[in-house]
Amino acid sequence: MSGAAAAEALHARFDEVLKSEWTRLGRKVSGLDEGQRQAVESIVAQVVHALADRPARTLTTTNEPALGHLALRLFGARFDQNDVSVR
């Protein structure tokens, strides 16, 4: 597996977690107006993407396939050559 493919799968996994958690926390932010909700959603998305960015950059710059497999396993992501998806 290439580092770029592993990084793509890792980003997909983090995006899935973001969507899942945002749905789960929906009731807690229901009292916010639309502008406030969008601001919170934007901040949370920025944090999640920042957390995924460093490992993803490392995966794209290394030539160690085992590292990609380990990172995907660690973060609960799955890689299929025909589809990048998450569990």
Q: What is the pLDDT at residue 43?
A: 94
Is the CB of residue 20 less than 8 Å from the CB of residue 48?
A: no
Residues 58 and 6 sit within 8 Å (Cβ to Cβ): no
Q: How confident is the model at residue 47 (pLDDT cuts 50, 70, 90)?
A: very high
pLDDT of 26 above 60 = yes
What pLDDT is stored for residue 86 in this prediction?
A: 41
CA distance 60 to 21: 27
- Statement: residue 42 has pLDDT above 50: yes
Region at 44 (left for phi over 0; alpha for psi -120 to 50; beta for the rest): alpha
CA distance 1 to 69: 8
Write down the pTM of the prediction.
0.76
